[in-house]
Structure 1
Amino acid sequence: MEITFEHVTHSYDVNSPTANLGLDDVTLKIKNGLFTAIIGQTGSGKSTLVRHINALLKPTSGTITIGDRVITSDTNNKNLKPLRKQIGMVFQFPESQLFEETVEKDIMFGPMNFGATETEAREAARTVIKLVGLDESYLTQSPFDLSGGQMRRVAIAGVLASDPETIILDEPTAGLDPVGRKEIMSLFKDLQVKGKTIILITHNMDDVANYADAMAVIHRGKLIAQGFPKEVFNNQELLKNDLITLPKSAEFAKGLMQQGFHFDKLPITIDELGTEIKHQLNGD
């Protein structure tokens, strides 16, 4: 399901003296089936942008096309449920949204809210609990008796249970240790490989380098760059103006350049860096 923003502007408090632009004339295409990262400094407009995708916010001007559905400033809230079923959103610290007495009931809530029968929702819960790396024995437990990492997996399972076509991740690994972060990001990469469209908001540039197929950079509500991660991370104008930070591998490569190594483009992953170093040491 392709998502297209055309000249989208969003103004907060539009009729107030304190009005400010959350988005400023953004034109962006998010291709179906790709893992796309949206990055930018705090307050840049990343979260504002993705909240337009399931019409939690609506544009002040411009249009957003999601599959065959067009969202404008005049779109009302009627009949948005089918759209919101197609777009799953995992907020930062999603475990804070758990509320049911058992894990099973919490996971079942989303599908039943979108019209699934109790039997269908229970079957979905059994399927997705395993998908997020937990076994069925967790279904009868209280979510509040679980560890923080397990609670996050349950919250993610609740989003996946409705089988959305597109999944939006708003800093999904915040607060996790490196092992937990890798497990969660690998889960979403696997879902993308199986056909889901993944949209990631993050401040972690290593996650962008390791998992994203495409990326977009938002600054003060404007889209200032988009493309393949390796291209964007090698954009000298963005780097010179401190509008992006580099993944650790690219930072390490910059240090190696001061010791005589040469890179046509900075490698952005550990594998790319290792390959480049090996070639240069072997004189390839």
Structure 2
Amino acid sequence: MEITFEHVTHSYNADGPTASLGLDDVSLTIKDGLFTAIVGQTGSGKSTLVRHINALLKPTSGIVKIGSRVIDSETSNKNLKSLRKQVGMVFQFPESQLFEETVEKDIMFGPINFGATEDQAKESAQKMIQMVGLDESYLSKSPFDLSGGQMRRVAIAGVLASDPETIILDEPTAGLDPVGRQEIMDMFKGLQKNGKTIVLITHNMDDVANYADDVAVIHSGKLIANGLPKDIFNNNDLLKNDLLTLPKSAEFAKKLSQKGFSFSKLPITIDELGTEIKQQLNGD
């Protein structure tokens, strides 16, 4: 399901004295089936952008196309349920959204809200709890008796249970340890490989380098760059103006450049860096 922003501007408090632009004439295509990262400094407009994808926000001007659906300033809040089933959103610290007395009921809530039978919702809960790395014994537990990392996984399972075509992730691994972060990110990459469209908001440039197919850079509500991760992280204008930070592998490559190594483009993943070093040491 392709998602297209066409000259989208969003103004907060548009008619009031404190009006401010959250998005400023943004045109962007999020391609079907890809893993797209949305990056930028805090307050740049990333969250404002993705909240237009399931019409939590609507454009002040311009349009957003989500598949065959068109969202504009006149779109009614009625009849949005089908869109919100197609587009699942994992907010930052999603465990704060847990509210049911058992894990199973929490995961079942979304499917039932979108029209599934109780049996279908139970089956989905059993499948999703395993997908996020927990066994079925957790279904009978209270979500509030779990660790923070386990609560995060349950909250993600609740979003996945409705089988959305597009999954929006707003800093989904914030506060997790490195192992937990990799497990969650690997899971989302696996979902993308199985046909889901993934949209990731993150400040973690290593996650962008390791998982994203496409990167959009937002600054002061404007789209200032869009392209492949390797091209974005080798964009000197973005780097010298502090609009982007580098993944650790690229930072290390810059230091190696001062020691006699030469890179036509900075390698952005550990595998790429290792290959480059090996080739140069072997004189290839």
Q: When the two structures are superposed, what TM-score results if normalisation uses the length of structure 1?
A: 1.00
The aligned residue for residue 48 of structure 1 is 48
The aligned residue for residue 157 of structure 2 is 157
Q: What are the ranges of 5 or more consecutive residues in structure 1 without an aligned counterpart? A: none
Aligned-pair RMSD on alpha carbons? Answer: 0.4
Partners of 2:178 and 2:164 in 1: CA distance = 27
Q: What are the ranges of 5 or more consecutive residues in structure 2 without an aligned counterpart? A: none
The aligned residue for residue 79 of structure 1 is 79
How big is the shift at 1:18?
1.1
Residue 204 (str. 1) matches residue 200 (str. 2): no
Deviations 1:25-46 (CA, angstroms, capped at 9, x unpaired): 0000000000000000000000
- Once the two structures are superposed, the pairs formed by residues 24-173 of structure 1 within 5 Å of their partners are 24-173=24-173
How big is the shift at 1:99?
0.6
Partners of 1:261 and 1:232 in 2: CA distance = 21
Q: Secondary structure at the match of 2:25?
A: strand
- Once the two structures are superposed, the pairs formed by residues 201-240 of structure 1 within 5 Å of their partners are 201-240=201-240
Percent identity between the aligned chains?
81
Deviations 1:183-235 (CA, angstroms, capped at 9, x unpaired): 11001000000000000000000000000000000000000000000000000
Q: Secondary structure at the match of 1:174?
A: coil
Q: When the two structures are superposed, what TM-score results if normalisation uses the length of structure 2?
A: 1.00
Partners of 1:118 and 1:76 in 2: CA distance = 30
Partners of 1:106 and 1:236 in 2: CA distance = 46
Deviations 1:93-145 (CA, angstroms, capped at 9, x unpaired): 00111110000000000001111111111111011111111111110111111
Counterpart amino acid of residue 79 in structure 1: N
Give runs of ≥4 in structure 1 deviating > 2 Å.
none
Deviations 1:21-79 (CA, angstroms, capped at 9, x unpaired): 00000000000000000000000000000000000000000000000000000000111
How big is the shift at 1:240?
1.1
- Counting matched residue pairs gives 284
Partners of 1:40 and 1:193 in 2: CA distance = 25
Partners of 2:123 and 2:180 in 1: CA distance = 26
Q: Secondary structure at the match of 2:188?
A: helix
Q: Secondary structure at the match of 1:4?
A: strand
Partners of 1:129 and 1:94 in 2: CA distance = 15
